[in-house]
Amino acid sequence: MSTMNVSLPDELKSFVDERVGHGGFGSTSEYVRDLIRRDQDRERLRTLLLHGAASPPGPMADDSYFESLRARVRAGD
């Protein structure tokens, strides 16, 4: 694991300390790792949404579409 030093203004340092103390994090490093993971998740979601928006429309979600889904679920029982 690598080490990274980050300089923060006092206001942000106080905020981080409060989040660590009351947010269920064992350390500042855990808090920062959580923030980075959430940012990665947001970026993955953004990529998926943009990919979906650029793709052609899928099948129409009409009654027969939902019935076929129900049939697939029932077949899995």
Backbone angles phi, psi at 6, to 5 degrees: -130, 130
Q: Tokens in use for 43?
A: 């970026």
pLDDT in tens, the chain (77 residues): 899 999 999 999 999 999 999 989 999 999 999 999 999 999 999 999 999 999 999 888 999 999 999 999 999 86
pLDDT at 77: 60
pLDDT at 76: 85
pLDDT at 20: 96
* Cα-Cα-Cα-Cα dihedral sign, residues 11, 17, 23, 27: positive
pLDDT at 58: 87
pLDDT at 23: 87
Q: How many domains does the chain have?
A: 1
- Domain assignment present for residue 25? The answer is yes
Distance of CA 52 to the CA centre of its chain: 17
- Domain assignment present for residue 69? The answer is yes
- Domain assignment present for residue 45? The answer is yes
- Domain assignment present for residue 30? The answer is yes
Domain that holds residue 27: 10-75
